[in-house]
Amino acid sequence: MRFTIFQESLKGGREVNQDRIAYTYSRETLLLVIADGMGGHVGGEIAAQIAVRLFVERFHQEAKPMLRNPLRFMQDTMLRAHAALGAYANQFSMLETPRTTCVAVVVQAGQAYWAHVGDSRFYLLRQGKLIGATKDHSKVQYLVDQGVISSEEAAVHPDRNKIYSCLGGLVEPVVDLSRRTPLKNGDILVLCTDGLWSVYPRSELSTMLTSTPILTVGPRIMREAESRGGPDGDNVSAIVVRWGPETLTDEVSTTTDALKPGEFETEIEDTVTLAERTGTSRDLTEDEIERAIAEIQSTIQKYRK
């Protein structure tokens, strides 16, 4: 395999970075994963960390050197992460189960597969055109699908951050799986959290990533996204891969040819800020209150006979 990869995660205007990103690859298979932990509480960061770590660890167990069934691998890992978060909350008697979104991509034998829960996104771009993408598990996406609001309205809708599926929630997560999609050299794979996509229209992102080497433009996009987010801006995270040999620059792309069977290269971006936190006795935020109520209501519905 040959590709160029860029990944970065920035805190934005927040005190804590609750996004976690990682990539890892064997000689034959590449895994990309992003998780965006939810809520202003300590749990969000833990949730994202657990999900990403679990993906990487399971990949190392299963990709020898290829995954037998990439989609099943992703589906299983999502559900295991969901269960792990519940177990974690129990173990530490946490008031709320830590929750996170998650989007993962596997590339092997020239084919891409992806899976997601929540509103962290994946775009597959070919010559500037979108040929594959995830669909957010969000309230506004649902409204767009139903024709109630337009996608322009969705971008500024007050509920645009509300999602109905996540890992660690009260109900089993909805995991969306892609079809197998053959890649061509020059294809661009983008995974990002809402901190990026909410401030960068897809068309703009697509133009920038297609016309300029990703290692050059990647950091610029990230800084720009952070500044667009402003003083209260969300965490911003992205992984960008240009598939095949780099043609736009002299920069050497990554090749996996040198990896022996059973060997992996791994890059986990985890600026752990847990140490800075003091207990869990923080105030509830407005967001947390709204979410707690929504959760209780959905539980009542679920257990109603």
Partner 1 sequence: MPVTNQALPGGYQLLNYRIDRQISRGGFSIVYRAYDETGTPVAIKEYLPASLVLRTEGDIVNASSAENLTSFRYGMKCFFEEGRALAKINHPNVVRVLNFFRANETVYMVMRYERGRTLQQHIQMRQDQMSERFVRQVFMHLLNGLREVHTHKILHLDIKPANIYLHSDGSPVLLDFGAARQTLTTNRPKLAPMYTPGFAAPEQYRDHDRLGPWTDVYGTGASMFACLAAFAPQAADARVQEDHLVSAKKIWSGQYSDNLLEVIDWCLRLDPLERPQSVFALQRAIRDIPPPKRKLTFFGNLKRVLFSEIGA
Interface with partner 1 by CB under 8 A: which residues? Answer: 90, 93, 95, 281, 283-284, 289-290, 292-293, 295-297, 299-300, 303-305
Instruction: Order across the sheet with 236-243: list the strands.
Output: 129-133, 121-126, 188-192, 236-243, 2-10, 254-255
Residue 299 beta carbon to partner 1: minimum distance, rounded to whole angstroms: 4
Rounded Cα distance between 74 and 101, Å, is: 14
Report the residue number, 87 or 148, with the smaller CB distance to partner 1. Answer: 87
Burial 33-68 (b: 16+ CB within 10 A, else e): bbbbbbbbbbbbbbbbbbbbbbbbebbbebbebebe
Residue 84 beta carbon to partner 1: minimum distance, rounded to whole angstroms: 17
Q: Cβ atoms within 10 A of the Cβ of 305, count?
A: 2
Residue 263 beta carbon to partner 1: minimum distance, rounded to whole angstroms: 42
Report the residue number, 169 or 218, with the smaller CB distance to partner 1. Answer: 169
Rounded Cα distance between 224 and 262, Å, is: 39
Report the residue number, 89 or 196, with the smaller CB distance to partner 1. Answer: 89
DSSP state for residue 66 in the 8-state scheme = S
Rounded Cα distance between 45 and 157, Å, is: 26
Q: Which two tokens stand for residue 253?
A: 């792309």
Short-list 79, 289, 272, CA closest to 168: 79
Residue 232 beta carbon to partner 1: minimum distance, rounded to whole angstroms: 20
Distances 216 to 171, 186, 200, 213, 297 between C-alpha atoms, Å? 42, 16, 17, 5, 47
Report the residue number, 232 or 286, with the smaller CB distance to partner 1. Answer: 286
Report the residue number, 57 or 290, with the smaller CB distance to partner 1. Answer: 290
Residue 39 beta carbon to partner 1: minimum distance, rounded to whole angstroms: 12
Report the residue number, 158 or 303, with the smaller CB distance to partner 1. Answer: 303
Residue 258 beta carbon to partner 1: minimum distance, rounded to whole angstroms: 50
